[in-house]
Amino acid sequence: MRESPQNVTAMKQSYIQLSRPFSEDEALINKKLPKELFLRIFSYLDVVSLCRCAQVSKSWNLLALDGSNWQRIDLFNFQTDVKGPVIENLSKRCGGFLRKLSLRGCQSIGDASMKTLASYCNNVEEINLNGCKEITDNTCQSLNRYCHKLLRLDITSCSSITDLSLRALSEGCPSITHINISWCNNITDAGIEALAHGCRKIKSFIAKGVIQITDRAISCLAQSCPDLETLILHGCTNLEDKAVISLAENCKNLQYLCLSGCNRLTDASLIILAQQCHQLSTLEVAGCSQFTDAGFQALSRNCRYLEKMDLEECVLITDSTLIHLAVGCPRLEKLSLSHCELITDDGIRHLGTSPCASEHLTVLELDNCPLITDTSLEHLIHCHNLQRIELYDCQLITRTGIRRLRNHLPNIKVHAYFAPITPPPSAVNSRQRYCRCCVIL
């Protein structure tokens, strides 16, 4: 049946109306919501979402690109290789609104772009330059000149950074509370001393793999920055007990301490921490091979807030350490005992039946503990919050023992490895070792 000419004309008009996009004035959302509410909504969006909103219409473009929406910027997922002009345009758009900027992994960003950013965004409080390998001391000179409100700075793996940067920060950014200089191998004691003298409000200092650090730098940091709460010195192999003693005597509020890989330390460090730092909640001392039961016994008696402990490769500790931790550390949640080869089922028994384990223990790492057996797993069945257990290369643990543990803790993640069973030799074209007559006889 053919449509009448009137119906065809009406259908064409309807099609034209439906296919024509709304003008900004016709869009109902633009009529109903005030601009202030739009700005509030846009303030929760990330960079990519803001850029998409800016392409919707002219009015949305103005609102999305308003500097007040660009107070927190993270370009890690923006594009694979952010170029300098992007940072310079952002700097001019954000101006004094910018508070937090992450350029983590933006390896093409150099000093010129950072100088532009510092000059336009002088209210910035947090900058993450982790992995920005083109950055040099010139960037910290720019921060010194313009960014006096800076509180947090991450320059991890900025390999061209030297002591000059820390000196510049100490002079121009005295309010810094958190700084990460991990893997900046050109930094020495002199730079850290300058930083400590100028930035006395530091609460978190992270320096993984800064191998030139010695007791001198840490002692100066401890004396100048008594509010220190987090100190991570993983792989700073030149440190000795003197550094930890100064730290414990001056920084009573220390909560997170990582000394993993500092293998020159002895029980004297643990004992002074036990005496002075009662607020410790996380202690990482993996690879500190001179620590013994005596040091951990002192800790367990005095540091009752300990929640996370990494004792991997503390090869001298025995079940005695576990007995004292079970009694003295009721909040213990995560414990690594990997490569502690003297630990036995008896130590796990004391740990597994303690109040701390049944109420709080969530992660237990026992890789390469050759003396533990399925009996240890039976001692853990009452640890109702246990979420993960590591059992790689525990030769006396069996599939049956793991299955029994899972029957009691169905949600637990068990990481273990069992070598595949060696297949039997092929019987093809092979002679039997004995004939039937021999079997009968």
Residue 169 to residue 181: CA distance in whole angstroms = 12
Most confident of 49-63, 71-85, 272-286: 272-286
> What is the reported pLDDT for 21?
46
Q: Which residues contact 390 (CB under 8 A, 6 or more apart)?
A: 336, 338, 364, 365, 366, 367, 415, 416
Q: For 181-221, what is each residue's pLDDT tens digit?
A: 999 999 999 999 999 999 999 999 999 999 999 999 999 99
Query: Is the pLDDT reported for residue 19 higher than 70?
Result: no
For residues 380 and 126, give the distance between their C-alpha atoms in angstroms, rounded to a whole number.
Answer: 44
Q: What is the pLDDT of residue 278?
A: 97
Q: pLDDT confidence of 9, banded at 50, 70, 90?
A: low
Amino acid code (one letter) for 391: L
Answer whether 0.95 is exceeded by the pTM.
Answer: no
Residue 401 to residue 183: CA distance in whole angstroms: 42
- End-to-end C-alpha distance for the chain, whole angstroms: 100
Per-residue pLDDT, 26: 53
**409-421 core/surface letters (b: 16 or more CB in 10 A; e: else):** beebebebeeeee
Is there a contact between 320 and 340 (Cβ–Cβ < 8 Å)?
no
- pLDDT score, position 258: 98
**Per-residue pLDDT, 425:** 58
Q: Quick one: pLDDT at residue 2?
A: 52
* CA 298 – CA 284 distance, rounded (Å): 16
Taking the C-alpha atoms of residue 386 and residue 226, their distance in angstroms, rounded to an integer, is: 36
What's the pLDDT tens digit per position in 156-172?
999 999 999 999 999 99
% of the chain beyond a pLDDT of 90: 74
**Stretch 40-53: mean pLDDT, rounded?**
82
d(CA 221, CA 241): 15
